[in-house]
Chain A
Amino acid sequence: MENLVSDLFNKVSFFQQIGYVPTAAVVMLACGLVVLNFFGLMSGLYTYLERKVAGWTNSRRGPNRVGPYGLMQFMADGVKLILKEDIIPAAADKSIFKFAPYLLLLGTALSFVVIPFGPKWIISDLNVGVLYLLATGSFTVIGLILAGWASNNKWALLGGMRSAAQIVSYEIPNALAILVVVLSTGTMSMQSIIRAQAGGLHHWYLFSSPFSFLAFFIYFVSAIAEINRVPFDIPEAESELVAGYNIEYSAMRFGAFFAAEFGNIYVISAVAVTCFLGGWQLPLSVDVGELGPIGAAFGHFLSRPDVLMLLLLGAVPATFFAWKALRAFIWDVRRKRNFFGSRFVRFHSELLVLGLLFAAGGLTLALHLPLRAYLPAVYRLIFEYIVPFLVFFTKAMVVSFVVLWWRWTLPRLRVDQLMGVCWKYLIPLGFFCLVGQGFWMWLSS
């Protein structure tokens, strides 16, 4: 954002006339709008995705009525929530009751400030980015306690109490796991953490050392606990507390809780991607400028550790898909199915999608040299903005798919077991990782 402000101020005469501070204000407003819309869109998308994933696991279809593939369902839900009556219980503490959901929403929206979208796309690359994220994450707990207390409902109170205990405890392993990364990079800025993982797959903190590998799982588990998702959704455990802290909420205030919850999924996925999965960087350290002729590139590629790791990682799903496709193909041949009626085509459209993705990637790589020579602006747009954003977004989506998938597969823990997992396992493990990472760095230096 700072770059944008100075660029605009220096290059556009209109902004020079109105001065630096108004320029900054305009840019801030615009960025805020963009990010809030992105946040709203993401939480909408996650409600859709969650119900679709639920459909897949529950052997149902999920939303498929409103719009193509049911994609407009979240819009319809949003409109419904806005139009519904906002009921406030007579005995509730009205002002706190009204305020609490927005506190939650505020915490999530503030987190988006330091989440990068690309090497040059970030609202503000704070030098205390990670610390800032931990701080905004704590807004959640205040909102939940206030909501639970102000509802004047015993179930809501129990939910609020549970969430307070849970979130406060799980912040510790969460912070410890991120500290492992901060220890290695020596910086808390999100972009610098990503840049520290440059050079391909084996530089990502997920793979670079056994301790940061463990730290990733500590982070993931405690982050899921912090945003109250299954198997740690005890504050809103349906079968125990009916709905927990949001039991008395209706209409858009209820919607605000949900928007915050689903927005948080993107936040934790983005942080996981930033800190452990190389952020917006490709798994290969492709310097598109020096790729050269494809034949030479292959010989050069195979001697590189990141290529080998990517091949190894790719081999597992590739074998799986190939095995399934082969079985479907045999099934088709045995039953003499025609092409469009075959299992191969109906059930393995994922192969088609993968193929299209590879084709698009290949095309972009093939075109990069003429593009750079003749259309440098388009080249920069693609390789500095669009490709990094797509890479980051894809990684975040893979991580959040796991979050959604767990939601529909696992039972939930009991309160005391939840605390046990945190204090007996995750926190000691977190300290172990921190110390171990220190030793690892000392050994490798």
Chain B
Amino acid sequence: MPLATESMVLNMGPHHPSTHGVLRFILRTDGEVIHHCRPDIGYLHRGLEKIAEKVSYAHFMPYTDRLDYLAAMNCNLGYAITVERAAGIEVPPRAEYIRVLVAELNRIISHLISVGTFAMDMGAVTPFTHSLREREWVNDLFEELCGSRLTYNYVRFGGVALDLPDGFLQRLSRFLDYFEPRLRQYNRFISKNKIFKERLVGVAVISPKDALDYKLVGPNLRASGIDWDLRRDEPYSVYGELDFDVPVGGGAEMGELGDCYSRYWIRIREMEQSVRILRQCMEKIPDGSHWNRSKKKLKIEPGEFYVRTEAPRGELGFYLVSKGGLKPHRLKIMTGSFSAMSIVEKVGSGLMVADLVALIASLDVVAPEVDR
């Protein structure tokens, strides 16, 4: 006869080592097994969308840095492209290449953090410090490019704020030469680790249908086997001229389709592809102006605009409603982390506590992007 037991309500977060920021999960558990898991968001809500309605278009650019602080360049870029499409601003080709360059560099360091914290959540501390060591290198590059290391505020409407400094491309190429063997080292060190795979393969599987239903985006969507990348399928900037693959889940090297391991592995593969893109950009980058600068105050004709770009955490969409004038009437931001949080309730129920940590880490949720 089964013993009557009471389920325990466990409050995971807002301060918890593996929620990376202030996320909260209310778990109803029976011992180690989670019966029901409810994410509770809003601890980092700063009203970014409301702020956008109060400041001019250009003044909102620094706020996009704080949208996803691990991929500030990509957020800058998405917002800049939105305003440029709405206002009809031309971007010089050199600026386009610089933008792709910094966006891909930022994708690399964002994925590095993701992969490192993932390993740390699984109990291996060393990959995290190693990935931070590589990230420092890129942070130094960004620092000499625009003066800051985390929130760059680098992309401008019609170009980028500053041209590449002397010798930047040589130093970038040195970084890439250093980084590619490191990536293989990570694979030997952690990706192929027996315990690591044991923990992740077949855990928290998200089916392709669920991934579409819950609007997963970016690496999480591709890990579930849906071949969709905005850089290739709806090319913006100069992505159309570049040659790269889009890694998709499933296959021999992966675990089960849509499990935690494939979400991890997709990010490693994407870093390889980013290196490829960077090398092409370095070859193709033309001379010329870096900023098609306009002295006039930016006004946008009344209308509605929606632009989406591929940030490291998936589609980053800006929905801009203008009624004319210097400020947007409404700016709605669609982020990947927010939609990723919604699936935690469905997939997280029935897992063990340790697996929930793996699930959250594999979705690569960044708290400020969830709450905005």
B324 touches A (CB below 8 Å): no
A233 lies within 8 A of B123 (CB): yes
Q: Does A239 belong to the interface (CB within 8 Å)?
A: yes
How many chain B residues touch A (CB < 8 A): the figure is 30
CA distance A411 to B353 in the complex (A): 16
Contact A240 B198 (CB under 8 A): no
Query: Quick check: is B172 within 8 A (CB to CB) of the other chain?
Result: no
Nearest A-chain residue to B19, judged by Cβ: A239
Inter-chain contact A411/B8, CB cutoff 8 Å: no
Q: Which residues of A are found within 8 Å of B122, using beta-carbon distances?
A: 239, 411-412
Known contacts A154-B8, A411-B196: does B126 contact A58 (CB below 8 Å)?
A: yes
Asked whether any CB of chain A lies closer than 8 Å to the CB of B354, the reply is: yes
**Given A59-B129, A158-B353, A240-B18, CB of A412 within 8 Å of CB of B120:** no
Instruction: List, in ascending order, chain B residues with CB within 8 A of A242's CB.
Output: 16-17
- Asked if B130 and A413 sit within 8 Å, CB to CB, the answer is no
Task: Tell whether A413 pairs with B195 under 8 Å between CB atoms, given A239-B17, A242-B17.
Answer: yes
A161 adjacent to chain B (CB < 8 Å)? yes
Asked if A10 CB lies within 8 Å of chain B CBs, one says no
B32 interface contact, C-beta 8 A? yes
Q: Looking at the assembled complex, report how far the CB atom of B260 sits from the nearest CB atom of chain A, in whole angstroms.
A: 12
Q: What 1/0 mask marks residues of chain B from 328 to 372 whose CB sits below 8 Å from any chain A CB?
A: 000000000000000000000000111101000000000000000
Q: Is A349 close to B, CB under 8 A?
A: no
> What residues of B have a CB within 8 angstroms of the CB of A413 in the complex?
195, 198-199
Q: What residues of chain A lie closer than 8 Å to B357, measured between beta carbons?
A: 239-240
In contact, B123 and A412 (Cβ under 8 angstroms): yes
A100 vs B121: C-alpha distance in the bound complex, in angstroms? 28
How far, in Å, is B362 (CB) from chain A's closest CB? 13
- Judged by a CB distance under 8 angstroms, whether A417 is at the interface is yes
**In the complex, are the beta carbons of B126 and A230 less than 8 A apart?**
no
Q: Give, as a whole number of angstroms, the nearest-CB distance from B85 to chain A.
A: 42
Q: How far is it, in angstroms, between the C-alpha of A238 and the C-alpha of B122 when the chains are bound?
A: 9
Best-buried of B16, B125, B196 by chain A (most CB within 10 Å): B125
Q: List the A side residues contacting B353 at CB < 8 Å.
A: 158, 240-241
Please indicate the chain A residues that have their CB under 8 angstroms from the CB of B126 in the complex.
57-58, 408-409
Out of A59, A155, A240, which one reaches B130, CB within 8 Å?
A: A59
Judge whether B130 and A230 touch: CB under 8 Å.
no
Residue B113 at the A interface, CB < 8 A? no
The answer on a CB contact under 8 Å between B195 and A409 is no
| B1 → A minimal CB distance (Å) | 22
Q: How far is the CA of A234 from the CA of B32 in the complex (A)?
A: 12
- Across the interface, A417 reaches (CB within 8 A) one of B8, B11, B198, namely B198
Chain B positions within 8 Å of A59 at CB level: 129-130, 133
Give A58's nearest chain B residue, CB to CB. B129
The CA of A57 and the CA of B17, in the complex, are separated in Å by: 22
Q: Is A54 an interface position by the 8 A CB rule? A: yes
Find the B residue at minimum CB distance from A233: B123
Q: How far is the CA of A230 from the CA of B124 in the complex (A)?
A: 9
Considering the complex, which residues of chain A in the window 136-174 have a beta carbon less than 8 Å from any beta carbon of chain B? Answer: 154-155, 158, 161-162
Closest to B189 in A: A409
Binary contact readout B111-151 vs A (1 if CB under 8 angstroms, 0 otherwise):
00000000111111110011001000000000000000000
Alpha-carbon separation in the docked complex, A416 to B124 (Å): 19
In the assembled complex, the Cα of A242 lies from the Cα of B13 at a distance in Å of: 10
A237 near B125: Cβ-Cβ < 8 Å? no
CA of A408 to CA of B190, assembled, Å: 12
A297–B121 Cα distance when bound, in Å, is 56
A414 close to B352 (CB less than 8 A):
yes
Q: Kindly state whether residue A304 has any CB partner on chain B within 8 Å.
A: no
Q: Which of B17, B119, B130 contacts A411 (CB 8 A)?
A: B119
Chain A 233-266 interface residues, beta-carbon cutoff 8 Å to B: 233-234, 237-242
A158 contact set on B, CB distance < 8 A: 10, 32, 353
Q: For residue A262, give the distance in angstroms from its CB to the closest CB of chain B.
A: 17
- A415 touches which of B17, B119, B124, B352 (Cβ 8 Å): B352
A414 adjacent to B354 (CB under 8 Å)? yes
Contact indicator A240/B354 (Cβ below 8 Å): yes
Contact B355–A411 (Cβ < 8 Å): no
CB distance from A148 to the nearest CB of B (A): 13
Q: A408 to B229, alpha carbons, bound, how many Å?
A: 36
Contact yes or no, A154 B17, CB < 8 A:
no
CB within 8 Å of A: which B207-237 residues: none
* In the assembled complex, B193 has its CB within 8 A of some CB on chain A: yes
A391 to B119, CA, bound (A): 38
Asked if A300 lies at the interface with its beta carbon under 8 angstroms from chain B, I say: no
Task: Provide 27 A-B residue pairs closer than 8 Å at the C-beta atoms, listed in order of the A residue.
Answer: A58-B125, A58-B126, A58-B130, A154-B8, A154-B11, A158-B353, A230-B123, A231-B123, A231-B195, A234-B354, A237-B354, A239-B18, A239-B122, A239-B357, A242-B16, A410-B124, A411-B119, A411-B123, A411-B195, A411-B196, A411-B199, A412-B123, A412-B124, A412-B195, A414-B355, A415-B32, A416-B32
Interface residues of B (CB under 8 A from A): 8, 10-11, 16-18, 31-32, 119-126, 129-130, 133, 190, 193, 195-196, 198-199, 352-355, 357
Pairs A-B, 9 closest by C-beta atoms: A412-B123, A58-B129, A411-B122, A239-B18, A411-B124, A239-B121, A411-B123, A414-B354, A411-B196
**Can you add 15 more A-B contacts, CB < 8 Å, to A242-B17, A411-B190?**
A58-B125, A60-B129, A158-B10, A158-B353, A230-B123, A238-B17, A239-B120, A239-B121, A242-B16, A408-B126, A409-B124, A410-B124, A411-B193, A415-B354, A417-B198
